[in-house]
Each structure stands twice: as structure tokens, then as C-alpha cells.
Structure 1
Amino acid sequence: MSMINGGSDAHLAVTAARAGASVVQDLYGSRLARYDKSAGDFATEADLAAEQAIVDVLRAARPDDAVTGEESGRSGAADAHRRWLVDPLCGTLNYAVRTMLVGVNVALREGDRVTAAATADPFSGEVFWTDGAAARLRSPDGTDERLTPHAGSALVDVNLDPPFPGAPGFQAVRLLADPGFAERFRPRVISSTLAVAWVAAGRRAAYVTDGDLRDRVHFAAGIALCRAAGCTVTGLRGEPVLTGADGLVAAADAQTHAALLALVKKQASGGS
């Protein structure tokens, strides 16, 4: 566990994520201005305010570190060895229509490794966090318990948000329609990377998405949590995750992972 200025990076990730979550919770239900970003995508005042709260915590404790924020972009040295990846409100559309399925993600990348990360649930008060070695859940009362993945629920969260960069070789909606998927799994769509943390915690059997996830602020924390918890994590074709543009399969165990990869491969080969 990296220690700088008297505190651990993992502790800082938790503190920063909680600061952002507090803003998200406080502004929930209020009339918020929207800022269009791209087709169908937008940020709200809560996104911007939560990101500022997170960055303020990081800057106060680690003034020399670089930061990439979902809303504010990159700051600090372009070639910095230490870079914080901040997604202040994952699930903005959920939040904007008063659906409490959102996450606040903070992760530290040192070189090519994420060494500390936290995903906070603003409404349960829970924080899923890792120091790179183990993954834990911090309850609102401050107690920690180790995360234990478990595939028994058979619940698989699938990202159905456009665009669909994997098409036609892979389309998530076709995965859900595959009889082999229905025989073994039950689909869920919460439209927030909070679901990735739930895989590490045993609340989901797996999470599947396509797209290029390299340096994506949305997924860095969840992937780090799953790895530290002992999940099986790769791209859609089984390649090391974050090395290409082939998305993510994060599964509670190797058997669940293999079954999902087989379904993805079947789709890519033209099977129905």
C-alpha cells in the first residue's frame, strides 16, 4: 500500500469518493442544469460539483499528481507516473430521472497499474475499495469486510448504452437473446459501473460491455476491485483487459467467465 504524506493512497481514494458521493446525495432530486456533451450524453451540475469536490481532496493531499476527470479532462504532467482517474457520477441519466443507481469512481494509476481505487454508492453509503492487494467494502459505520465474489445469483449486468462499437461482431442485445444465455443467466441493466463493483462483492455473477476501455475513468476502479477480489477479468475475446478496444467481461469465477466468452465467440462467428 503506497504511503505518501502520512496517508495511504487507498485511504485517499475512499475519502475522495466519499466527498463526491456526498455532493451527489445532497443534490439528488433538485432541478439541475444539463450540459450536452454528445448525442444522448450530458452532464449535470451534480457531475461538475462532485468532480470538483473529488479533485479538491486529491489536490490537497497529492499536489504533484496528475488527474483525469470525466468532466474537466486531463491536468498535470502529460507523462505523469501517478494519475488519478475520476468519474464523479456514473449513471447520470439514472440520476437525472431520480433513479438511485449511480456510482462515484476514483482510481490511481501508477504507470500501467491501478494501485488504489474506490467506488462509492451515494445512497447506500457503501464504499467498495482496494489497495491493489485486497478488495473491501466499507459500511457507513466505518467497518470493513473483505469482498467475496460469488456467481450463485446468475445475475449478469450488460451495458446496453450506445454507441455499439463492437457491432456487428458483438452486440449486447443479441447476447441477451441467445438461448444459451437465458438457460444459465438472468440479465440486469443498471446503466452504471456500480455493477462492476457488485461483481467483486458477490451481488452480480458478471458484467459485460464492449468498447475501448483504455484509460477510461468509468471502468478503472471497478476493474481494480474485481482483480483484487479474485474475479476473472478479460476483454470480450479473452485478451488482457485494457490492452485493446474489445470491452470487458468481469466474472465472479472462471466457469462463469468461460461461459460468457463462449457466447461472445458464438456471436462473432455468426452463430445464433
Structure 2
Amino acid sequence: MTHTDARADDTETAIAAARAGADVVRDMYGQHLARIDKGAGDFATEADVAAEKAILDVIRAARPDDAFLGEEGGQRGAAGAARQWLVDPLCGTLNYAVGTMLVAVNVALRGGPAAVADPFGGDVFLTDGHTAHVRRQDGTEDTPLTPTPATRLVDLNLDPPFPSAPGHRAVGLLTHPDFTDHFRPRVGSTSLALAWVAAGKRAAYVTDGGDLTASVHFAAGIALCRAAGCVVTGIDGAPLGPAGRGLVAAADEDTHARLLAMLRQPG
């Protein structure tokens, strides 16, 4: 098998796994689900756990020797393995638990292909690590993702904690006088918004945090944005990585520069 064939197989594995998780999330929606307390106000539901199992089953069948890091089940296989899948089976658990359909299923091979499934919209946003597309439910040909700042909508992740405060606070953009001159805020709690930046549905996405490239929540969305040609850095403008601080993913250089300027100069 050539390197190209292997990457294609990994991409299809990511898509199949994300779809398997999305099927579970959709099928269990609206049911009375037991909650699993994680502390500090965080929790999982039975749907999170069941979706992760479905994803793991797909990956194990296709890539039995690969390591796996899941939001709910933790590490399986060596943490330092050359091939590790990063999985968030239900990003937006709080939305889901209260009957809001704004959620995502994230599957990424670290440093390689990734897929983000929208369980209720039916789309799967995918990347082979070089290009980014969306696959519709109707089976039509995959459509390339094309970022654009035209919407001027910027998603802000306001979930605590805010590890970069007080120097950098994504929440501060809401009160910055220049923000509403150029953009309009949207506040969500799911990384589906990163796929929307890649697809041109959002102009940018901003969140605080540490190294998000290794995060089960963000790895797939970051991979999509990079492959689609978005401008992706930390909230301080530095490259993402072990010393990284949060995330600014923007459709173009101008949007990225405006947001960084506001983050550096609180309103």
C-alpha cells in the first residue's frame, strides 16, 4: 500500500468513525439519559459513552494497532504512539442534554486526517491532512471547503477556565469597541464552529486554553481549518504547539489581524 493509499484509508476511517458516533448521538437524542459527573460542573451522558464506543469499534476494526485517546474512556494504547486517534464523541454535551442540537462528533488522527460530523445537520467535514471538504448525506460529490469572512460572524468560546487572563481574554472581545464595528458575536459551546470557519459559515473562532493541537475537543477542527487555508494561531499570535495559548482560527489575514489587535488591547 502506498503512502497516498494509506492516507486515503485513514481519511475514510475517520469519516466512518465520526458517522458511527453521530448515529448514536442522533438516535439517543431526547431520551432521559443518566449523567456522569466529572466535577467542576462538567458531566458526560450515556450518549457520550455509547458514541465513543461506536467510534472506537470502527477504529479498532480498521486500525487495530493504533492508540486511542477518548474524552470519556481516556488513553488506550501507548500515549506516545506514532499513530494516535483523538476523539471527542459528543462536543457540546450541555447543549445536547438540554435539547439543543448544536453538537459535533470529532475524530482526528494526530497529525493526519480528521472528520467532524454534525449529527443533526448530516454533514461530515473532512480533511486528508492536505485538503478539506464537506460530504453531504445525499451522497453527492464532496465539496471543497472555502473560508470567507463575508458573514462577519465570530464564534467565541466563553466556557471557563480562562488560563490566559488577565493578559488575554476571549470574553473581552464582547466589550471591545472595535469588535462590533467589524463583527457580530456568536457564542457557542461546541467546536462545530471551527468546521463552520473552514466552510465559510463563520469568519472566525476564538477560544482560550493551552495546547489545543493535542486536545480531543479541538484537534479535528484545527486540522480542517488548516487544510482549508484558514489563518490559525494562538490568541497571542504565536504558532500552536506545546507552549501555545488558546486559538484564533480566521477565514483570512485581515480578520485574524483585527482580532489579534483587539485581544492585545482590551476595550
In 2, Cα distance between equivalents of 1:41 and 1:208: 21
1:169 is matched with 167
2:56 is matched with 55
Native 8 Å contact 1:214 1:244 kept in 2? no
Task: Please list every run of 5 or more consecutive structure 1 residues that lacks an aligned counterpart in the other structure.
Answer: none
Task: Please list every run of 5 or more consecutive structure 2 residues that lacks an aligned counterpart in the other structure.
Answer: none
> Hey, which bits of structure 1, 4+ residues long, moved more than 6 A?
none
In 1, Cα distance between equivalents of 2:122 and 2:151: 23
1:81 is matched with 82
* Matched residue SS, 1:3: helix
Distance 1:70 1:2, change over 3 A: farther
1:155 is matched with 153
* Matched residue SS, 1:233: strand
Greater CA deviation, 161-170 or 143-152? 161-170
Question: Identity, % of aligned pairs?
Answer: 65
- List aligned pairs for 1:35-114, cutoff 5 A: 35-109=36-110, 114=111
- Length, aligned pairs only: 263
Residue 3 of structure 1 and its aligned partner are, at CA, apart by 3.4
Select 2:5's aligned residue among 3, 13, 33.
3
In 1, Cα distance between equivalents of 2:248 and 2:31: 35
1:262 is matched with 261
1:116 is matched with 113
Native 8 Å contact 2:90 2:106 kept in 1? yes
* Matched residue SS, 2:214: coil
State the Cα deviation string for residues 234-269 of structure 1 (Å, max 9, x = none).
0011111133241000000010000001111113xx
In 1, Cα distance between equivalents of 2:151 and 2:249: 15
Residue 2 of structure 1 and its aligned partner are, at CA, apart by 4.7
* Matched residue SS, 2:120: coil
1:200 is matched with 198
Select 2:137's aligned residue among 136, 140, 165.
140
Residue 142 of structure 1 and its aligned partner are, at CA, apart by 2.1
State the Cα deviation string for residues 179-221 of structure 1 (Å, max 9, x = none).
1111101000121000000000000000000111241100000
Taking only aligned residues, the RMSD between alpha carbons, in angstroms, comes to 1.3
Normalising by structure 1, we get a TM-score of 0.94
State the Cα deviation string for residues 50-92 of structure 1 (Å, max 9, x = none).
0000000000100000000000011112321000000000000
State the Cα deviation string for residues 30-49 of structure 1 (Å, max 9, x = none).
00000011211100000000
Residue 122 of structure 1 and its aligned partner are, at CA, apart by 0.2
In 2, Cα distance between equivalents of 1:222 and 1:21: 16
State the Cα deviation string for residues 131-151 of structure 1 (Å, max 9, x = none).
011000000012210000010
Normalising by structure 2, we get a TM-score of 0.96
In 2, Cα distance between equivalents of 1:7 and 1:146: 16
